[in-house]
Amino acid sequence: MQFNKDFVFGTATSSYQIEGAHAEDGRTPSIWDMFCDTDGKVFEKHNGDVACDHYHRYEEDIAHIKKLGVDTYRFSIAWPRIFPAKGEYNPAGMAFYKKLALRLREEGIKPAVTIYHWDLPMWAHEEGGWVNRESVDWFLDFARVCFEELDEVVDSWITHNEPWCAGFLGYHLGQHAPGHTDLNEAVRAVHHILLSHGKAVELLKGEFASSTPIGITLNLSPVYAKTDSANDQIARNNSDGYSNRWFLDPVFKGQYPVDMMNLFSKYVHSFDFIHAGDLETISTKCDFFGINFYSRGIVEFSAASDFLYKGAYSDYDKTGMGWDIAPNEFKDLIRRLRAEYTDLPIYITENGAAFDDVLEDGRVHDQNRIDYVNMHLQAVSDLNEEGMNIQGYYLWSLLDNFEWSFGYDKRFGIIYIDFDSQERIWKDSAYFYADVISKHKKAIEQQA
Ligand code: FCB
């Protein structure tokens, strides 16, 4: 595999999944603290109270990032640290991210910052959360102080991570916080999340006149039909609409997909939450497009299901999440995005895998994770040969961490965490990734 000299290698995390320090320096609870505390939502009622204790160990973690040799590190900002209460800015919370970004820069590592990675403050939730259109203003207050305080030290901004999860998984499927199961709420939540994205882009480029690149990260999963039958094609179309097009179309085409609006109208009685001008704002041009890729979907027709599809059997090899390992389908996805949606530079802002790691004599021989990462890096390299213009890759994740509803049961890190001692132990995949990066750097030096 081969990458050009400007290609960036990175690794990614998010605030609630690693920081811990849940009640320090003024932080108040987020919807995830509440969700973790609710019976039956998160594996063994695990929570992020301590997580990887990154809030206290960030210097040690930066040393690991440095040792990996990555160019860039993606992390997110915990909103309830910055606004512990409505309208109440907390500089003590912001101080942590300043220290973090500055230390990264001192080490020559570019901070790539996600503004929202799902930890909505409880005060916002109590006023309706993302379902309330005012959430757009609350988010903009949050984005504004992030830009004011951090724009100088941040290399790129990501407004939102995976609106599908924050919106559909949280408000329709109920598997993520806040755990609601109402499509009416979910389409509103998604709309306000996307609108807040567009407005934040306008704010940074307009009022702040900043040249820091800004974009959004979507999780996309190419969907395949079990058979060629007309019914399975309907299933495929609807599943693609629910997972991908409901987000891609507004962001890149300034419209929601009409077929999906019709399908959703069984539950969504009015789309009056879409105000004049909203879709123009949502489709405001960004500087890059972030994609989180993990797997593909395969579906078949199901008359009994709401949207006429259900998951179909797949004989693919799977990760520890039970997700199909699908680097070829990843290629299909990128080609489709180029053909149908966008010319913007693409960054793979997350890719990685959970497996059942075993710590033996101080080592974790995670050949399965090495293979997974290797296949996807190879795919990125192949795609770039086709001219697909992927400019960077962020491995999810730096550390084993709080994997949402799976708690600490699923390990995505390339660095193993002993959650009792907080010891960090490099898995074989970390050595592998460091090696890929150092070989790349040597190759570039030789070319120069
Ligand atoms: C993505 C999330 C990230 C992590 C990975 C495994 O959906 O953005 O926080 O949980 O999945």
| HEC readout, the chain | CCCCCCCEEEEECCHHHHCCCCCCCCCCCEHHHHHHCCCCCCHHHCCCCCCCCHHHHHHHHHHHHHHHCCCEEEEECCHHHHCCECCECCHHHHHHHHHHHHHHHHCCCEEEEEEECCCCEHHHHHCCHHHCCCHHHHHHHHHHHHHHHHHHHCCEEEEEECHHHHHHHHHCCCCCCCCCCCHHHHHHHHHHHHHHHHHHHHHHHCCCCCCCCEEEEEECCCEEECCCCHHHHHHHHHHHHHHHHHHHHHHHHCCCCHHHHHHHCCCCCCCCCCCCCHHHHHCCCCCEEEEECCCCEEEEECCCCCCCEEECCCCCCECCCCCECCHHHHHHHHHHHHHHCCCCCEEEEEECCCCCCCEECCEECCHHHHHHHHHHHHHHHHHHHCCCCEEEEEEECCECCCCHHHHHHCCCCCEEEECCCCEEEECHHHHHHHHHHHHHHHHHHHHC
d(CA 196, CA 350): 22
**How far does residue 293's CA lie from ligand 1's centre (Å)?**
10
Q: What angle do CA 440, 159, 38 make, to 5 degrees?
A: 105
Atom of ligand 1 nearest to the CA of 219: 7
pLDDT tens for 123-174 read 999 999 999 999 999 999 999 999 999 999 999 999 999 999 999 999 999 9
* Closest ligand 1 atom to 162 CA: 8
pLDDT higher than 90, residue 187: yes
Ligand 1: centre distance to CA 229 (Å):
33
Which residues does ligand 1 sit against, CB inside 6 Å? Answer: 14, 17, 161-162, 165, 219, 292, 350, 396, 403-404, 412
Among the atoms of ligand 1, which is closest to the Cα of residue 118? 9
| pLDDT, position 342 | 98
Taking CA atoms only, the protein residue closest to ligand 1 atom 4 is 403
Q: Is the pLDDT of residue 208 over 90?
A: yes
Each residue's pLDDT tens digit, 87-127: 999 999 999 999 999 999 999 999 999 999 999 999 999 99
Contact 49, 37 (CB under 8 A): no
Which pLDDT band, with edges at 50, 70 and 90, does 220 fall under?
A: very high
* Mean pLDDT confidence for 337-343: 98
Q: Residue 169 Cα, ligand 1 centroid: separation in angstroms? A: 12
Q: Which pLDDT score, from 0 to 100, does residue 268 have? A: 97
Buried b / exposed e over 194-211, threshold 16 CB at 10 Å, is bbbbbbbbebbbeeeebe
Integer Cα distance of 192 and 146 in angstroms: 19
Share of the chain above pLDDT 70, in %: 100
Q: Ligand 1 pocket test: which of 43, 117, 118, 292 has the largest number of ligand atoms within 8 Å of its C-beta?
A: 292
Ligand 1 mutation target, pool 396, 397, 399, 402, most atoms within 8 A of CB: 396
Residue listed under structure tokens 């009416």: 184
Q: Which of 119, 165, 293, 395 to mutate to test the pocket of ligand 1 (most atoms within 8 A of CB)?
A: 165
What is d(CA 347, CA 303) in angstroms, rounded to the nearest whole number? Answer: 38
Six token digits for residue 9: 């290698």
Q: Count the Cβ atoms, other than its own, within 10 Å of residue 148.
A: 12
- What does the pLDDT read at residue 448? 85
Contact 251, 194 (CB under 8 A): yes
From the CA of 17, give the closest atom in ligand 1.
Answer: 9
Residue 258 pLDDT > 90, yes or no? yes
What is the 323 CA–ligand 1 centroid distance (Å)? 13
Average pLDDT, the chain: 98
CA of 230 relative to ligand 1 center, distance in Å: 33
Is this structure's pTM higher than 0.75?
yes
Angle at CA 342, nearest 5°, toward 338 and 346? Answer: 80
Give the tokens for residue 118.
């799902």
Structure tokens at 427: 């898995």
Which residues are catalytically annotated? Answer: 162, 350
At 414, the pLDDT band (50, 70, 90 cuts) reads: very high
Bridge-partner residues for 311, per DSSP?
Answer: 299
